[in-house]
């Protein structure tokens, strides 16, 4: 199922894919990582410029991320202004590098219009798995969300690794 606004796969599809990856991890010891991205102060965009403008920003943001991840990575809409990137066959160093590159690129990109620019920052939580670190999807998402919340509490616009 696809999100109507962004065209991304939904949270339901993400949960199914995470289950598949967790099974691969347990059976074949194939690591994977996830990145949870939350747009900082997203509500302010809608309040300042209107919901239509905010929706266009979310679509541009989604398209930008899609173009700036590997072909094997999967991108999902997790919630209103939260997104998940699933990175198969990726370990800790690689996920931090990818997340930092995305955060930096987002900060320097105009997601608005030439006459009405809109620059975003994001808070990012990352988790790299191995066969002993995560027992369930719920635990995986909980840990990655803890990292995301730490990034937000520390002022946003940063990457935190579990």
Report CA-CA distances (Å) from 98 to 53, 125, 136: 28, 12, 24
- pLDDT tens for the 162 residues of the chain, in order: 899 999 999 999 999 999 999 999 988 988 999 999 999 999 999 999 999 999 999 999 999 999 999 999 999 999 999 999 999 999 999 999 999 999 999 999 999 988 999 999 999 999 999 877 778 999 999 999 999 999 999 999 999 998
| Structural domain spans, the chain | 11-161
CATH number for the domain running over 11-161:
3.30.70.270
Q: What is the dihedral of CA 47, 50, 55, 61, to 10 degrees?
A: -60
Q: Nearest 10 degrees: CA dihedral of 123, 129, 134, 139? A: 20
């Amino acid at each position: 199922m696809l999100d109507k606004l962004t065209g991304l796969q939904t949270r339901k599809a993400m949960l199914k894919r995470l289950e598949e990856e967790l099974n691969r991890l347990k059976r074949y010891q194939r690591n994977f990582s996830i990145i949870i991205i939350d747009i900082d102060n997203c509500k302010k965009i809608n309040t300042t410029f209107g919901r239509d403008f905010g929706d266009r920003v979310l679509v541009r943001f989604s398209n930008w991320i899609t173009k700036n991840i590997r072909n094997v990575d999967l991108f999902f809409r997790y919630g209103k202004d939260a997104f998940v990137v699933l990175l198969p066959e990726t370990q800790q160093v690689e996920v931090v590098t990818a997340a930092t590159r995305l955060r930096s690129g987002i900060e320097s990109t105009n997601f608005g219009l030439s006459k009405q620019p809109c620059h975003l920052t994001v808070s990012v939580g990352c988790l790299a798995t191995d066969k002993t670190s995560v027992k369930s999807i719920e635990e995986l998402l909980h840990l990655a969300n803890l990292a995301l919340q730490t990034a937000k509490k520390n002022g946003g616009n940063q990457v935190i690794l579990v």
